[in-house]
Amino acid sequence: MSSLERSDVARLAALARIDMTDDDLDRLSGQLSAIVDAVAKVAEVAGTDVPATSHPIPMSNVHRPDEVRPSLPQDRALAAAPEAEDGRFRVPQILGEEA
């Protein structure tokens, strides 16, 4: 498998919603590439006969009764929001000017 290129890191950062300057990309690309090369060895032993484990202690259908219980009051849920209005979280405009 090939290493991560600088352009890959830029694309991944955009997908992960992290702005990256040229300096960030310079610094992180080489490190990430070395890490990817090191972890790629997992493919050496992962044969098709080996099942995957997603969870260390298997459990299934963990339910509780579907009943109304007290929850966080609205004012406290909103208390730490950067901005709130009319009992809701307020954000900057969602679509660009051209939309």
- Residue ranges in contact with other proteins by CB under 8 A: 1, 4, 8-9, 12-20, 24, 27-28, 31-32, 34-36, 38-47, 50-57, 59, 62, 64, 72, 76-77, 79-83, 89, 91-96
Residue 78 C-beta: closest distance to other proteins, Å? 8
> 36 with 4: CB under 8 angstroms?
yes
- 12: tokens are 């991944």
Residue 86 C-beta: closest distance to other proteins, Å? 15
DSSP code of residue 5: P
- Closer to other proteins by Cβ: residue 45 or 68: 45
Contacts of 76 (CB under 8 A, 6+ apart): none
- Closer to other proteins by Cβ: residue 43 or 68: 43
Residue 19 C-beta: closest distance to other proteins, Å? 4
> How many CB atoms within 10 Å of residue 20?
17
- 8: tokens are 């890959």
